[in-house]
Amino acid sequence: MRTSVFPSVLFALLAGASVAVSAEAATPPSTSVEQTQAVTTKVNLNTADAPTLQRELSGVGEKKAQAIVDYREANGTFVSVDELLEVKGIGESILERNRDKLSVN
């Protein structure tokens, strides 16, 4: 009788393990809050300081960031994001790379 119980117990254990593995596979992987939230904060050209512009904008270093602030101080607030092209050192390439990150509100 001993030999007939062992296969039954082994089968029950393996079947239980198989169900547990299947349940884990069906559960979607957990994602962290950082992975699911898109960063939607835009850089406001009318309020951002030079270090913020430098940190947040691609292709904008210390001098270009300061040029943006200087332009704003000399000419008033930006009316549109496209006005950034008036700043010395800022061309179409930099503007297009950063357009989605910029606002003038």
- Residue 55 above 70 pLDDT? yes
Q: Which residues of 29-44 are buried (b: 16+ CB within 10 A; e: fewer)?
A: eeeeeeeeeeeeebbe
Domain count, the chain: 2
Is residue 55 domain-shared with residue 87, that is, in the same domain? yes
Is residue 74 domain-shared with residue 47, that is, in the same domain? yes
Is residue 54 domain-shared with residue 89, that is, in the same domain? yes
pLDDT, residue 41, reads 87
Residue 77 within any structural domain of the chain: yes
Residue 10 within any structural domain of the chain: yes
Give me the domain span that covers residue 28. 2-32
> 79 and 104 in contact (C-beta within 8 Å)?
yes
Residue 38 within any structural domain of the chain: no
Residue 62 within any structural domain of the chain: yes
Average pLDDT over the chain reads 82
User: Residue 33 to residues 10, 29, 36, 37, 101: CA-CA distances in angstroms?
Assistant: 42, 13, 5, 6, 21
Residues in the chain: 105
The C-alpha atoms of residue 94 and residue 87 are separated, in whole angstroms, by 11
